[in-house]
């Protein structure tokens, strides 16, 4: 009997014709066996030479070369299972490369609208993190915070939550049972509840707990948002999308202190959180109404559920429903441990992540100390000192425009020179300029403040720092995604955990450092550290990074292949037992 399936015919009658139930059952078992065998062959190929005959798939292609290009999903199948649609007529996949329901094929306006919503979600958390900084003196008096360390701790504790949250939330958003939409929508409402609660805090303990819990909710957008971009945009389009997306988390910590400084000039500190909660609620309502699911495994599961109801064929399935042998608990444990392992053992994540974490930590150090500098040293009013965050914002905006164009231009030129074959290392040349720009901005800012030069001088130093900051994030973030598709989410999560710990810790020693070294030598010491982190290793990556990356990826691929093989063996055993029954 010839099996066939048109894109719109999924009923058992259309697929199997006049076969009786026993024949259909045998055919289904045989089909599943073929798919599981092919996937097992793919994961086992990671331990064999690439040119081995046993390394070829059913179409004669090398499995080993393809494994690393597979998206970061639970089953090592290409095209979300589409490679098997020719042998499994009940497999629900995208209807070809041009399927309009596939998120990357959505219209440009629809993708940009979803990008806008995710960017707004991502704006809330950074705004929340720095909103209380200009109001810290008033909050300290009201809540009896007599210790400078506790004041800094109450600001940065939200960033600590961003280091813990990704390890718990990422597994949920990458389940075909949940997807991106529920995680993002629920998290933005959690953020709203605790931002509002901060306005009613009666003690330092309450304020810190509310901010930490709000940070756990807010971290979802900062991490799941990057995954949403990968759902919507191809590698060629992602640089511009990443630039548009990243402008919100970088501007957030700048905009909120400006707003907060004017609020605290006319209202009590409670209104800082009330206004933040009002904006948070507006974004949450907008996103809840208009944000759509973008995660392909989840969309395919929804499609399968719909078709099962429409056709009455309960045997329709996605590749993730028949070939994912991992339990939810195992998936959670892997997703929690893998970013930590990458952070401790992968040289590219350690080297590049260290510079990113240092830059991120110093950004929060500056945010916490700005009130002391411009209200204390320069004698500005609360509202005017709030405007001194603007140079950071100006540097971010100019940097986003400039580096987006330059990084793309360099990447495309090097790719063309390499015969049209791109490499992740082609993202990194612009990073070397940040290795100079970041230290230069720190030294300029520090000595300008210590010598009490005109306010435009520290402002220029701040702008140089933030201008260079954008290149750090755009180059490293894209590199971590490109270096291994299978571990893209884990690599980004590892970098997020790393930088969030630095963002939490740096403000805690800021006042002590400046009391002992003052701003000139304090920033000079930090600039030397930045130079050591931001120049030698990126240059090393340009020269030898490809070999180092492949060596590290090979170890991670082998470990993932063993896990995939174990899960597939479990399913094969289950399939064999069903065949015997």
Distance CA 581, CA 579 (A): 5
Which region among 225-234, 393-402, 407-416, 445-454 has the lowest average model confidence (pLDDT)? 225-234
Span 76-99, average pLDDT: 88
pLDDT at 49: 54
pLDDT, residue 188, reads 95
**Number of residues that this document lists for the chain:** 581
Tell me which of 144 and 50 has the higher pLDDT.
Answer: 144
Statement: residue 3 has pLDDT above 60: no
Q: What is the pLDDT of residue 55?
A: 54
Q: Average pLDDT, stretch 93-113?
A: 91
Over the stretch 400-427, which tens digit does the pLDDT of each residue have?
999 999 999 999 999 999 998 889 999 9
Task: Give CA–CA dist 334/490, Å, rounded.
Answer: 10
For the cut 90, the answer to whether the pLDDT of residue 363 exceeds it is yes
How far apart (Å, rounded) are the C-alpha atoms in residues 122 and 223? 9
Phi, psi of 19 (to 5 degrees): -60, 145
Please name the residue that has the structure tokens 């395919």: 300
Q: What pLDDT is attached to residue 429?
A: 94
Average pLDDT over residues 252-268: 92
| 68-72, 292-296, 321-325, 341-345: least confident range | 68-72
Tens digit of each residue's pLDDT (9 = 90 or more) over 525-535: 999 999 999 99
pLDDT beyond 90 at 335: no
User: Is residue 462 a contact partner of residue 45, using CB atoms and an 8 Å limit?
Assistant: no
The pLDDT confidence band at residue 1, using thresholds 50, 70 and 90, is very low
* pLDDT attached to residue 5: 46
Using the predicted structure, report yes or no on whether residue 57 has a pLDDT greater than 60: no
Catalogue all structural domains in the chain, each as residue range(s) with its CATH number.
Answer: 107-293 (1.20.1250.20), 337-573 (1.20.1250.20)
Is residue 112 within 8 Å of 206, Cβ to Cβ?
Answer: no
Contacts of 449 (CB under 8 A, 6+ apart): 373, 377, 458, 519, 520
Residue 344 has pLDDT above 50, yes or no: yes
| pLDDT of res. 59 | 53
Kindly state the tokens that stand for 343.
Answer: 């952070």
Task: Tell me how far apart the alpha carbons of residues 412 and 544 are, in angstroms, rounded to a whole number.
Answer: 20
pTM reported for the whole predicted model: 0.88
Q: Cβ(555)–Cβ(547) under 8 Å? A: no
Range from 289-293, 400-404, 552-556 carrying the lowest mean pLDDT: 552-556
User: What mean pLDDT comes out for the span 147-154?
Assistant: 90
| Predicted pLDDT at 58 | 52
pLDDT of residue 7: 47
pLDDT for residue 514 is more than 90: yes
The better pLDDT of the pair 290, 148 is held by 290
pLDDT at 259: 93
pLDDT value at position 484? 81
More confident residue, 78 or 128: 128
């Amino acid at each position: 009997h010839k099996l066939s399936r048109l894109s719109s015919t999924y009923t058992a009658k259309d697929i199997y014709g006049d076969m009786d139930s026993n024949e259909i059952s045998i055919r289904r078992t045989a089909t599943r066996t073929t798919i599981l065998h092919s996937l097992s062959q793919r994961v086992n190929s990671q331990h064999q030479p690439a040119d081995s005959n046993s390394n070829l798939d059913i179409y004669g292609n090398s499995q080993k070369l393809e494994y690393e290009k597979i998206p970061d999903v639970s089953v090592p199948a290409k095209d979300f299972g589409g490679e098997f649609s020719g042998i499994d007529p009940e497999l629900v996949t995208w209807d070809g490369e041009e399927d309009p329901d596939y998120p990357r094929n959505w219209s440009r306006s629809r993708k940009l609208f979803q990008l806008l919503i995710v960017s707004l979600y991502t704006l809330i958390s950074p705004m929340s993190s720095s909103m209380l900084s200009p109001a810290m003196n008033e909050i300290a008096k009201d809540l009896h915070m007599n210790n400078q360390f506790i004041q800094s701790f109450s600001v940065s504790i939200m960033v600590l939550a961003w280091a813990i949250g990704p390890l718990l939330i990422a597994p949920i958003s990458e389940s075909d049972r949940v997807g991106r939409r529920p995680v993002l929508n629920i998290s933005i409402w959690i953020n709203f509840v605790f931002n509002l609660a901060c306005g009613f805090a009666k003690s330092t303990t309450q304020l810190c707990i509310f901010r930490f819990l709000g940070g756990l909710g807010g971290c979802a957008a900062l991490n799941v948002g990057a995954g949403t971009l990968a759902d919507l945009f191809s590698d060629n389009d992602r640089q511009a999308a990443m630039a548009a997306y990243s402008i919100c988390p970088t501007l957030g910590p700048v905009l909120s202190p400006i707003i907060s400084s004017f609020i605290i000039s006319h209202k009590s500190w409670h209104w800082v959180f009330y206004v933040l909660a009002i904006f948070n609620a507006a974004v949450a309502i907008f996103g809840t109404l208009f944000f759509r699911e973008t995660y392909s495994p989840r969309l395919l599961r929804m499609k399968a559920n719909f078709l099962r109801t429409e056709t009455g064929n309960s045997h329709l399935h996605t590749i993730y429903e028949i070939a994912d042998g991992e339990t939810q608990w195992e998936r959670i444990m892997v997703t929690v441990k893998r970013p930590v392992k990458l952070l401790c053992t992968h040289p590219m994540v350690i080297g590049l992540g260290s510079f990113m974490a240092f830059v991120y930590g110093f950004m929060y150090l500056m945010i916490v100390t700005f009130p002391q500098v411009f209200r204390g040293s320069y004698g500005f009013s609360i509202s005017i000192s709030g405007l001194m965050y603007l140079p950071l914002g100006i540097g971010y905006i100019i940097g986003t425009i400039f580096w987006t164009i330059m990084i793309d231009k360099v990447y495309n030129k090097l790719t063309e020179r390499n015969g049209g074959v791109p490499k992740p290392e082609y993202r990194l040349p612009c990073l070397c300029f940040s290795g100079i720009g970041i230290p230069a901005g720190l030294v300029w800012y520090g000595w300008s403040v210590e010598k009490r030069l005109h306010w435009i001088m520290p402002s220029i130093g701040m702008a140089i720092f933030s201008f260079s900051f954008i290149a750090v994030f755009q180059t490293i973030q894209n590199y971590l995604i490109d270096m291994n598709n299978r571990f893209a989410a884990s690599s980004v999560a590892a970098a997020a955990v790393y930088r969030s710990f630095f963002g939490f810790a740096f403000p805690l020693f800021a006042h002590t450092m400046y009391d002992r070294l003052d701003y000139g030598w304090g920033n000079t010491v930090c600039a030397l550290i930045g130079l050591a982190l931001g120049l030698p290793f990126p240059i090393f990556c340009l020269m030898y990074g490809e070999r180092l990356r492949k060596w590290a990826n090979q170890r991670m691929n082998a470990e993932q292949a063993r896990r995939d093989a174990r899960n597939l063996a479990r399913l094969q055993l289950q399939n064999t037992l069903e065949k015997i029954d």
